[in-house]
Amino acid sequence: MSERETINGTPVTEEQIAAWAKEAETGYDIAALKKRGRGRPGRGAEPSQVIALRLTVDEISALDARAEREGKSRSEVIREALASA
């Protein structure tokens, strides 16, 4: 690898890739994988809905700056703003 690949900021080593390949070749416990469920975990008792939101370039920049400053996602910042309104 000429450029270091990372996962969540942690460099991926050749040893880790070899371990993942060995794990894949050995096979996975399908029953255990199915138990985990699919998709993102729920945020409450009711299903969440995805909505589209149009923002200006300046609004997106402000949103991204706040999210980075607070270590949150765009969605988390928007949800908090709605909850405090």
63, 74 Cβ separation under 8 angstroms: yes
For 6-75, list the strands marked E by DSSP.
Answer: 6-7, 10-11
% of the chain with per-residue pLDDT over 70: 85
For the chain, list the strands marked E by DSSP.
Answer: 6-7, 10-11
pLDDT of residue 69: 95
pLDDT of residue 37: 63
> Residue 1 — very low, low, confident or very high, per pLDDT cuts 50/70/90?
very low
Q: How far apart are CA 20 and CA 28, in angstroms?
A: 11
**β partners of residue 11:** 6
pLDDT of residue 77: 95
pLDDT tens digits along 28-67: 877 777 676 666 666 776 777 888 999 999 999 999 999 9
55, 63 Cβ separation under 8 angstroms: yes
